[in-house]
């Protein structure tokens, strides 16, 4: 973004009517009026009086002088008006620049960028092509939380500068939040390889990072690419296709790019089908629950985790790995969570007398009515909140702001306990552990199953268990599938274990038959 004209800054600080040029123009105008009056005085006074005051020679000289002065003053006023018009033009250009440029990133504003994109696509429908790239800055929210919004603004500005370098001659815009976009136009066909190589260059340069508060901050992004007219000759459709490609890149693990293809569109249509069917399944009560035990070091049942299952009448079994991300994306996750909690509360009367973990998403915690809705379910089913552990998934999305911490404190005050799922897979997780009031930490299975194979894993698990012990928090080892997994996790400091080694997820009836019968046998 270009710096504002210094004259503009001077003018914009002046109050209306107080600029010195206005006073100069007023004085000159007053002199003109006086001269005009003098110059035309012979039209007012009789000739006899004029002849006694001035000789003919003096009158002629006076008239000539007044005409010359009038001409000079008129020229001066014209010059002042011209200068004012010039400054006004600068002000209008600067105002237009401010309206068209995002002040945080230095990229074009959303409206300006989309208008330019529509014109470019329309101009190249018959000849040439346009390449559109949508850029989503990964984990910008966490950078804002950890380092402040000023750091996030610096990252956006950095991404804009790198985009201009990696995509020479491209138009760069900010679509909003953590999303930027780039389009390239050409009178020739833009090769897909050229765009993907530019994407690779962009990502590689981002990874070099920038300095924030004298520390290097690495940056990553996910990119979605769509080409016109190869994929579409409609700007709105091109945006939609680039966004679908972006979602595909995110699903692949972020920090990557993806080019739109018909297969991605088919997947998107499949998502819409799943969303529609899932909404109906929630309303019709077609979802069921399985429970997986969490065991202590002595092999006794400590708690259960509720896991939702879906038997679709048309497609058969649909995996949670398929429909839960769609529920997250479509904001159906809150309705799904309430459905699961209601079913758990109904099952508690027959289940073993241990707490039950219910999965919730980070997005749900930010929902305004989350706590009210969950407490409402417990009230209606006459269940105490100490029987329910809220297990938070998608830990990378967790906020550590004061507002979010207050929300979690309110949840604990209502009587719930909170568990952090998949610890070790998110962004800035030790900061979450330090700031957020968790009761239980579940270490991700990728660490548990690799204990003893590398120093980093061993050090990480040992550090987590020691911190948890100091903070009086419980650690659960996830993904325990063999006796070796359990022994190594126990040596590392874990005291609770979950996985197929102890028990696969099972129906309520199977859990009741297994553990309630065992409890009766122990009593006998």
> What H or E segment, with its residue span, contains residue 445?
helix 445-448
Q: What are phi and psi of 337, to 5 degrees?
A: -60, -40
Contact in structure between 385 and 413 (CB atoms under 8 Å)? no
Which residue range forms the structural domain that includes residue 370? Answer: 281-523
Residue located via tokens 């274990």: 497
Residues 313, 239 share a domain: no
d(CA 110, CA 100) in angstroms, rounded, equals: 8
Residues 413, 394 share a domain: yes
pLDDT of the chain along its 524 residues, tens only? Answer: 333 333 334 334 444 444 555 566 666 666 666 656 555 555 445 555 555 555 555 656 666 666 676 677 677 767 777 777 777 666 666 655 556 788 888 899 998 999 999 999 999 988 899 999 999 998 888 788 778 888 899 999 999 999 999 999 999 999 988 899 999 999 999 999 999 999 999 999 999 989 888 888 889 999 999 999 999 999 999 999 999 999 889 887 788 999 999 998 888 888 889 999 999 999 999 999 999 999 999 999 999 999 999 998 888 899 998 899 889 887 899 999 999 999 999 999 999 999 999 999 878 887 889 999 999 999 999 999 999 999 987 554 566 677 778 888 999 999 999 998 888 775 546 767 777 888 999 998 989 999 988 888 899 899 999 988 888 899 999 999 999 999 999 999 999 999 999 999 999 999 999 887 665 555 44
Inter-helix orientation angle 370-381/402-413, to 10°: 10
Residues 322, 227 share a domain: no
Residues 69, 119 share a domain: no
Contact in structure between 380 and 373 (CB atoms under 8 Å)? no
d(CA 322, CA 179) in angstroms, rounded, equals: 26
Q: What are phi and psi of 265, to 5 degrees?
A: -65, -40
d(CA 258, CA 159) in angstroms, rounded, equals: 18
C-alpha closest to that of 202 among 256, 246, 238: 256
* Pair type for strands 496-497 and 257-259: unpaired
C-alpha closest to that of 116 among 108, 105, 126: 108
Residue ending a domain, among 228, 260, 292, is: 260
- Residues whose CB falls within 8 Å of the CB of residue 503, separated by 6 or more in sequence, listed in order: 292, 293, 295, 514
Residues 343, 418 share a domain: yes
C-alpha closest to that of 435 among 463, 408, 472: 408
Residue located via tokens 């010059």: 79
d(CA 171, CA 163) in angstroms, rounded, equals: 9
* Pair type for strands 474-477 and 287-296: unpaired
In the structure encoding, which two tokens stand for residue 202, read together?
């962009």
Domain with 357 in it: what CATH number? 3.20.20.450
- Residues whose CB falls within 8 Å of the CB of residue 162, separated by 6 or more in sequence, listed in order: 202, 205, 206
d(CA 279, CA 332) in angstroms, rounded, equals: 7
Contact in structure between 439 and 417 (CB atoms under 8 Å)? yes
Listed in sequence order, the DSSP H helices in 40-106 are 47-53, 56-100
In the structure encoding, which two tokens stand for residue 75, read together?
């020229």
Domain count, the chain: 3
**pLDDT score for 400:** 65
Domain with 123 in it: what CATH number? 3.30.70.270
Contact in structure between 381 and 334 (CB atoms under 8 Å)? no
Residue located via tokens 């014109």: 119
Specify if 436 maps to a domain: yes
> What H or E segment, with its residue span, contains residue 430?
helix 429-435
DSSP tag of 402: H
**pLDDT score for 12:** 41
In the structure encoding, which two tokens stand for residue 182, read together?
């780039």
Residues 462, 357 share a domain: yes
Specify if 268 maps to a domain: no
Going from the C-alpha of 383 to that of each of 116, 224, 376, the distances in angstroms are 58, 47, 10
Residues 420, 359 share a domain: yes
Contact in structure between 412 and 418 (CB atoms under 8 Å)? yes
Q: Residue 472 CB: number of other CB atoms within 10 A?
A: 7
Specify if 275 maps to a domain: no
d(CA 243, CA 176) in angstroms, rounded, equals: 13
Residues 409, 291 share a domain: yes
Residues 352, 468 share a domain: yes
**pLDDT score for 81:** 72
C-alpha closest to that of 141 among 427, 344, 512: 427
Residues 314, 442 share a domain: yes
Residues 407, 357 share a domain: yes
Specify if 420 maps to a domain: yes
d(CA 323, CA 276) in angstroms, rounded, equals: 11
Residues 455, 478 share a domain: yes
**Exposed (0-12), middle (13-18) or buried (19+): which is 344, by Cβ within 10 Å?**
buried
Residue ending a domain, among 77, 100, 123, is: 100
d(CA 119, CA 58) in angstroms, rounded, equals: 70
Specify if 518 maps to a domain: yes
Residue located via tokens 């040992």: 462
DSSP tag of 38: H
- Residues whose CB falls within 8 Å of the CB of residue 439, separated by 6 or more in sequence, listed in order: 389, 412, 417, 418, 419, 473, 474
Residue ending a domain, among 100, 119, 146, is: 100
Specify if 215 maps to a domain: yes
Specify if 271 maps to a domain: no
């Amino acid at each position: 973004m270009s710096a504002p004209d210094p004259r503009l800054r001077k003018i914009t600080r002046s109050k209306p009517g107080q600029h010195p040029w206005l006073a100069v123009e007023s004085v000159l105008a007053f002199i003109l009026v006086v001269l005009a009056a003098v110059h035309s005085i012979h039209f007012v006074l009789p000739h006899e009086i004029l002849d006694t005051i001035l000789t003919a020679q003096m009158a002629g000289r006076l008239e000539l002088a007044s005409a010359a002065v009038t001409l000079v003053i008129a020229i001066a006023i014209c010059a002042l008006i011209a200068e004012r018009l010039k400054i006004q033009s600068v002000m209008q250009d600067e105002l237009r620049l401010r309206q068209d440029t995002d002040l945080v990133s230095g990229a074009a504003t959303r409206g300006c960028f989309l208008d330019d994109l529509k014109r470019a696509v329309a101009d190249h429908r018959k000849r040439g092509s346009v390449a559109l790239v949508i850029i989503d800055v990964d984990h910008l929210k966490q950078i804002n939380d950890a380092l402040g919004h000023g750091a996030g603004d610096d990252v956006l500005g950095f991404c804009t500068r790198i985009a201009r370098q990696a995509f020479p001659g491209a138009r760069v815009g900010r679509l909003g939040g953590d999303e930027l976009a780039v389009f390239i136009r050409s009178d020739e066909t833009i090769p897909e390889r050229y765009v993907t190589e530019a994407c690779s260059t962009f990502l590689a340069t981002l990874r070099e990072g920038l300095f924030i508060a004298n520390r290097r901050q690495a940056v990553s992004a996910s990119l979605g690419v769509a080409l016109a007219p190869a994929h579409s000759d409609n700007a709105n459709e091109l945006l939609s296709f680039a966004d679908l490609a972006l979602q595909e890149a995110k699903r692949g693990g972020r920090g990557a790019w993806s080019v739109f293809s018909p297969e991605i569109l088919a997947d998107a249509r499949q998502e819409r089908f799943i969303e529609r069917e899932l909404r109906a399944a929630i309303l019709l009560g077609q979802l069921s629950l399985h429970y997986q035990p969490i065991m202590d070091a002595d092999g006794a049942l400590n708690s259960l985790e509720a896991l939702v299952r879906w038997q679709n009448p048309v497609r058969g079994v649909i995996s949670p790995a398929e429909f839960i991300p769609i529920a997250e994306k479509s904001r159906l996750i809150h309705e799904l969570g309430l459905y699961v909690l209601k079913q758990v509360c109904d099952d508690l009367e027959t289940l073993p007398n241990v707490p039950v973990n219910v999965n919730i998403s980070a997005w749900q915690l930010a929902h305004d009515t989350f706590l009210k809705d969950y407490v409402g379910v417990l009230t209606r089913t006459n269940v105490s909140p100490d029987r329910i552990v809220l297990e938070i998934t998608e830990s990378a999305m967790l906020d550590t702001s004061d507002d979010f911490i207050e929300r979690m404190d309110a949840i604990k005050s209502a009587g719930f306990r909170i568990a952090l799922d998949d610890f070790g897979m998110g962004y800035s997780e030790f900061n979450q552990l330090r700031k957020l009031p968790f009761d239980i930490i579940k270490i991700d299975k990728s660490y548990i199953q690799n204990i003893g194979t590398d120093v980093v894993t061993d050090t990480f698990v040992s550090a987590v268990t020691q911190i948890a012990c100091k903070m009086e928090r419980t650690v659960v080892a996830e993904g325990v599938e063999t006796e070796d997994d359990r022994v190594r996790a126990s040596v590392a400091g874990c005291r609770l274990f979950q996985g197929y080694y102890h028990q696969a997820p099972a129906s309520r009836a199977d859990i009741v038959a297994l553990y309630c019968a065992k409890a009766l046998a122990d009593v006998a």
